[in-house]
Structure 1
Amino acid sequence: MKAVLDFMGPFTFSVFRFGTGALTLLLLIWVLKAGKPPKHMWKHLIVVGILQTGVVFSFVMYGMQFVDAGKSSVLLYSMPLWSSILAVKLLGETMTRGKITGLVMGMIGLVLILGRDIFFVKDPAIIFGELLIVAAALAWAASNMYYRLKLEGMTQLQVSAYQMLFGTIGILAATVLMEWGEPVRLTGSSIFYILFTGVLASALCFTVWFILLSTIDMVTATLSTLLVPVFGLFFSWWILGEAFTGSIIAGSALVITGIAVAQIFGRETSKGRA
């Protein structure tokens, strides 16, 4: 996602990516004769599409123009922290001591990451990008809650395909508004980035994610996402050559550890649906 910004604007890429993903899934639905979702579910699919695909990835891609890839992955995958907070209100979970401890650690980690840029770097563009990515994490958490409340029972293939389709339409509108007429370079590399993120990271992995949300509890599902910022930090250093300050490393470690503490030590005594 970070590398493709050398070839096109963030919204344009997102249209290519999720358009490719949606077409892949709709073709699969047609081959498998899975049919269309019930009419009363369309409004819920539109909401999830706007949140999960439209808002999350529009905000992330725009923010990544100013924020390094490794830091972006940590900020975006603070999602389980926000999911834990929303689950208390919406899914009836209990806020146990383990969850409170994990949330406090995670929030301190976010303050360490954001605080250095706010108080020392003082670059408005970087701060704006970071806040956009945190907002994306909040939108993703809200999407998870909405899915659990409104869309459980539908086939995950249908949910993934149609929410991605509606989200792509929303991003397309933003692209026309924000990037109309801007150059797009379609090369072997940029086409590979589109296909990799569209077919694998979107069509396949989004479907797997909705399957996880339907078959296992929210705690276990969100815990698995801890690997993303770990690999994000490693690959951004290895492939993109990004350097990390002590505050980023310490803050990232606190966010990841805090999520793990909240999920592992908060799960045995928590009550509710997740």
Structure 2
Amino acid sequence: MTQKFPCIKTLRQNKLLLWLLILTITIIWGYAWVLMKASIEFMGPFSFSFLRFGVGTVTLMLFVWLLKIGIPPRESWKHLLIVGTLQTAIVFLFVMFALRYVDAGKSSVLLYSMPIWSSMLATKFLQEKITPAKMAGLWIGMLGLLTILGWDIWVGQNPSIIIGELLIIIAAISWAVSNVYYRIHVQDLPKIQATAFQMLFGTIAIFIVTLFMEWGEPVHLNAQSTYYILFTGVLASALCFTVWFIILGMIDMVTATISTMLVPMFGLVFSSLLLNEEMTPSIVVGFVLIVIGIIVAQLKNPRLQ
């Protein structure tokens, strides 16, 4: 892999460049939340997800072909199907549907509660020890979620918003399950190959759901909506996910997990600036608690490998 990607050696030797790359990826992902929310004005949420990941899949398959990586072993297809269903299909079908009712900034905070669920699952399935610090961190993170959800419940929020928030939390749990499943069954495959084929299977699942749920609904393609599809499909999906999996081979999982919390921070900022969404005290407090919980639960001697 290093021979096909000479830049990997450069990243290993230059920590500043590595962290600048991580910062760039998290900014792109944070900005993508604004585009995901705005796309609903032009088409159904499932149609957008299909077009986004369809473009992302084609992009990745092109790279797989150009780099002559080939297709994964037949015995890996079942595992890639499961990862694609959990990580691509379920996560983004639920999130895009919920974005009809939930602000983009709040949605990004709820989805990136994923490390909390990953930590709990890793304890059970990856034999990671549940230390007192980790237990305390999990409780702090859960308090952060309750701060966001509980406030909406007590102030008499619209039930559709609460249902949307719960769907995003389910999506976060699905993402966490896929992370653990990936670690157990898929991590030995070339990163770009695994990303391309799990996205392919996830896109097929999204297409099937779109046919049943949004058949006949209008899809308005113009310069603006095409930009949303290309940005989220090529940059936020194909490129960023591939680069992210490569980075995970260079940096310890703890530091990588914590760095993902930059995404909802940028998501909140971009949503406030570009969509005029209100950054309520409950969202800010809940976000801070989730970050603190993840740090307390997982941070121990982070280091670059």
Normalising to structure 2: TM-score of the pair?
0.85
Unaligned runs of 5+ in 2: 1-35
Number of aligned residue pairs: give it: 267
1:92-130 CA-to-partner distances (Å, cap 9, x unmatched) read 111122212221111111001001112223311001100
Matched residue SS, 1:2: helix
Cα distance in structure 1, aligned partners of 2:171 and 2:101: 15
Trace 1:161-176 onto structure 2 (pairs within 5 A).
161-176=196-211
1:214-269 CA-to-partner distances (Å, cap 9, x unmatched) read 444332221110100111111111111101222122111111221122222xx359
More deviation, 40-49/100-109: 100-109
More deviation, 97-106/60-69: 97-106
Q: Percent identity over the alignment?
A: 59
1:251 to 286, 289, 294: 286
1:260 aligns with 2:295: yes
* Counterpart position of 2:171: 136
Aligned CA RMSD, in angstroms, stands at 1.3
Matched residue SS, 1:27: helix
Contact kept in structure 2, 1:148 and 1:213, CA below 8 Å? no
Cα distance in structure 1, aligned partners of 2:197 and 2:249: 17
* Counterpart position of 2:16: none
Counterpart of 2:166, as a letter, is: L
Counterpart of 2:265, as a letter, is: V
1:22-54 CA-to-partner distances (Å, cap 9, x unmatched) read 000001111111111001000000000000100
Cα distance in structure 1, aligned partners of 2:194 and 2:71: 10
1:125 to 152, 160, 164: 160
1:207 to 234, 242, 246: 242
Cα distance in structure 2, aligned partners of 1:190 and 1:80: 31
More deviation, 129-138/119-128: 119-128
More deviation, 156-165/245-254: 245-254
1:37 to 72, 91, 95: 72
Counterpart of 1:119, as a letter, is: W
1:89 to 124, 128, 146: 124
1:54-87 CA-to-partner distances (Å, cap 9, x unmatched) read 0001011001111001100000000000000001
Give 4+ residue runs of structure 1 displaced > 4 Å after superposition.
none
Normalising to structure 1: TM-score of the pair?
0.94
Unaligned runs of 5+ in 1: 270-274
Cα distance in structure 2, aligned partners of 1:213 and 1:90: 20
More deviation, 213-222/106-115: 213-222
Contact kept in structure 2, 1:4 and 1:13, CA below 8 Å? yes
